[in-house]
Structure 1
Amino acid sequence: MKKTGKILLIAIIATLTLIGVTNNVHAATKPNYIITTDATYPPFDFQDKNNQYTGIDQEILKTIAKRQNFTYTLKPMSFNAATQSVSSGQADGVIAGMSITDERKAVFDFGTPYYRSGIGWAVKKDSNIKSLKDLKGKTVALKTGTSGVDYALSIQKKYGFKVTYFNDSDTLYNDVINDNAQATFGDLPVIQYAVKNGTQLKVMNPKSPIQAGWYGFGVQKGKNAKLLADFNKGFASIKEDGTYDKIVAKYLGASAATFTGNKKDNNSVVGILKANNGAFLNGLWQTIILTVSAIVLASIWGILLGIMGVSQNAGIRGLSTTIIYTFRGLPLMVLAFFIYIGLPGVIGMKIPAFTAGLITLVLNEGAYTGAFVRGGFDAVDRGQMEAARSLGLTYGKSMRKVIVPQGLKIMVPSFINQFIITLKDTSILSAIGILELTQTGSLIVSRNSQGFRVWAIVAVIYLIVITLLTWLSNWVEKRTRA
């Protein structure tokens, strides 16, 4: 009995010790947050020559996180997607040169304002436009979600110009440089930084920002109070000891080449490939993983929908038709935003970007697959089913042993085409922050402003992969017909 008591006592002590150790481990574990940003917004947010995220925003955030003992996972995406990810609870905070406005205060809680900015406007370097009055009948390029949009729309009727929208700064600037648009409105320090580093624009109000205001770090309203408190405490610390001023001076006082390594010899196709080979390979790998995973799952889902579409049961056929109609009818980007940003607010849980992207592809591509699978089964001669049934096979066995094998052979070309479409559709998922090949290209262009060369490289990579996929698919087709 005494021995049993000792054993029990030892077990209790060991358990309590283990609980204590576990609690200490949990207490010592740093909180980790998901922070979104628009990484095509130099000098506040961009990638350096080592493909690391840097800029005024990023260095402020990194320094504060270190001092306040928390960690974070950075999710770069378009500005609109970045803010919506936070407002929907998919991310914990956003730092992206975001102006604090009354409208945004209704959705976000902001930390201590960290940078005073204002709106600037610019035209092509050799433009004849001298004032806002000259914009009548012209087109103004704007970056979605920015304060430049709000200001431009507020004066649009007065000055009679048209507007067009872009998700990244480099494409926007090139639209003006190529004279597709004649002017742009945006944050003055961002435009000035671009001009200083070679963008062929002319700032029309270099010393007098319009509607001067503050940038802020935002979290979902009523959420993440500790993260906000830590940001404020850390920001007060870096302001007090002069670190903040050093960070701002570091990025506003130096050329982009200091961080991006964009020397002339690096701007050739070979130079870009050498400087960014790791980024291109990582983006390609992400694209391949998405494509292969989506192809496999969408094919399974599509075949199931196709079988349901030729069922004897009218209800099952109707369900198949409804699913195919719904997901073929939704634009892929709308579906991606709905799953990644809209759905979490309904189900009350976060959906990782990769998972949301994969679900989007499976639902969309699976619906198209289901449509041609159903058509393939219908294309099998009706006599085949009648012959199978006359031999005593049930409807299910007739489908499984006679109709499905013949139908799948008919569908092979359609499967090949759908595989290629799936690969290309992965590029749309860059909108929700998946760092695939297209998003990789956007980040590189924002750093080196070599849009033509970078997108040519990306296009060639896509063509090579599509060619290889086509060869593989054709080989499979020949084997199935042998």
Structure 2
Amino acid sequence: MKKFLTVLLVAISFASFMGCSKRNTKQFVIGLDDAFPPLGFRDENNEIVGYDVDLAREVALRLGKEFVAQPINWSAKEQELATGRIDCIWSGFTMTPERLEAMAFTKPYLNNAQVVVVKKGSNVKTLADLSGKIVGVQSESSAQDAINDAPEFKESLKKIIEFSENVTALNDLEIGNVDAVVLDLVVADYMITQGDKPLVILEESLAPEQYGIGFAKNNTELRDKVQKILEEMEADGTVAQISNSWFGKNLSVIGK
């Protein structure tokens, strides 16, 4: 019986491996946060859209693969990549020293910064004004990392409330449950502008950063193919066209 079970488990493992291999040869699967406008989010038809999604879809086409946008639990993104469920993390993914050590990244494709958003008319004008205030942040995000990397700023806060997504955090800011929200500049600017929200971004930011696409450490072959295609898309004007459709201008730093 034990021998039979062993053989069965080996067969299942082999079948699973083959299934993953088959998927990898025919699909290009990106892991993303589907509540992260304008990079990746759900529209009124519940379809996943966004700047990163459009870029990745075109990359998949040029790779000759089926494009799949796979929403993931952002707090478990590294595990999703390690298990092979996704080919890469492509979702406004900040390139930090720790992540660069653990993964194979493309070169940067967008510049960003971690900024503070407050309600219009708020008496908070600088980071120092947040002393004794309640600040919201997305759990396991680069914004949370930026707060943790600024210990004096963090200690000055009354409380930090973690949210599963930025949309909820900004809604809580509007109704007064928090005094400010720390999040990505690209996201904050888009959500405030498109949603016509009574919010403003402080001029003083916490941390400048860059977005890249993260692959498993040993998957440099696919990483290099994607990088080459992105540079080709930049050269032929495809990236500029996609950026203009989302931002009204070309924000790309590919090849720059």
Distance 2:118 2:131 in 1: 14
CA root-mean-square deviation: 2.3
Change in 2 beyond 3 A, CA 1:89/1:234: same
Secondary structure of 2:91's counterpart equals coil
Matched, 1:166 2:197: no
Q: Which has the higher helix share?
A: 1
In structure 2, what is the Cα distance between the partners aligned to 1:183 and 1:137? 12
Structure ID, larger Rg? 1
**Cα offset, 1:200, TM superposition:** 2.7
The question of 1:104 aligning with 2:99 is answered yes
Counterpart of 1:202 in structure 2 is 200
Q: Which runs of 5+ in 2 are unaligned?
A: 1-23, 250-256
Residue from 214, 218, 229 that aligns with 2:214 = 218
Question: 1:213: how far off?
Answer: 2.1
Question: 2: CA distance between counterparts of 1:232 and 1:251?
Answer: 21
5 Å-filtered alignment, 1:334-345, equals none
Residue 68 of structure 1 pairs with residue 63 of structure 2: yes
Q: Which amino acid aligns with 1:131?
A: T
- Give how far 1:75 is off: 1.3
| Partner of residue 343, structure 1 | none
Q: Which residue of 2 aligns with 1:190?
A: 187
- 1:44–1:191 distance in 2 versus 1, CA, 3 Å: same
Q: Tell me, yes or no, if the aligned pair for 1:79 and 1:96 is still in contact at 8 Å.
A: no
Structure 1 residue 166: deviation in Å?
A: 0.9
Aligned partners of 1:78 and 1:168 also within 8 Å: no
Give the C-alpha shift of residue 69 in structure 1.
1.2
Residue among 46, 57, 70 paired with 2:52: 57
Q: Counterpart in 2 of 1:84?
A: 79
Equivalent-residue separation in structure 2 for 1:146 and 1:95 (angstroms): 14
User: Is the contact between residue 118 and residue 211 of structure 1 (CA under 8 Å) also seen in structure 2?
Assistant: yes
Classify 1:190/1:40 alpha carbon distance in 2 versus 1 (closer, same or farther; 3 Å): same
Structure 2 CA distance for aligned equivalents of residues 137 and 80 of structure 1: 28
CA distance in 2, matches of 1:72, 1:250: 20
Distance 1:104 1:58 in 2: 21
TM-fit CA distance, 1:194: 0.9
8 Å CA contact 2:72–2:80 kept in 1: the answer is no
Matched position secondary structure for 1:109 = strand
The letter for the 1-side match of 2:207 is Q
One-letter amino acid of the structure 2 residue matched with residue 64 of structure 1: V
Which residues in structure 2 correspond to 1:319-468 (within 5 Å)? none
Q: Paired residues, what number?
A: 225
Q: CA deviation at 1:50?
A: 3.3
Question: Secondary structure at 1:96's aligned position in 2?
Answer: strand
Amino acid at match of 1:245: A
**Corresponding residue SS for 2:107:** coil
More strand as a share of residues: 2
Instruction: Give the partner amino acid of 2:214.
Output: G
Contact 2:61 2:67 in 1 (8 A): no
Secondary structure of 1:196's match?
helix
Partner secondary structure for residue 149 of structure 2: helix
Pair 156,183 (structure 1): closer, same or farther in 2 beyond 3 Å: farther
> Offset of 1:93 from its aligned partner?
1.0
The residue number in structure 1 matching 2:15 is none
- Structure 1 unaligned segments of length 5 or more: list them: 1-28, 255-482
Query: Which residue is 2:40 aligned to?
Result: 45
Q: Is the 2:166–2:183 Cα contact (8 Å) retained in structure 1?
A: no
Equivalent in 128, 132, 145 of residue 127 of structure 2: 132
State the distance in 2 between where 1:244 and 1:34 align.
20
- Identity among equivalent positions (%) equals 28
Q: 3-state DSSP class of the match of 1:106?
A: helix
Aligned ranges for residues 296-335 of structure 1 at < 5 Å?
none
Describe the superposition over 1:110-138 as per-residue Cα deviations: whole angstroms up to 9, x where unpaired: 11221111121111223221221221111
- Alpha-carbon distance, 1:30 to partner: 5.3
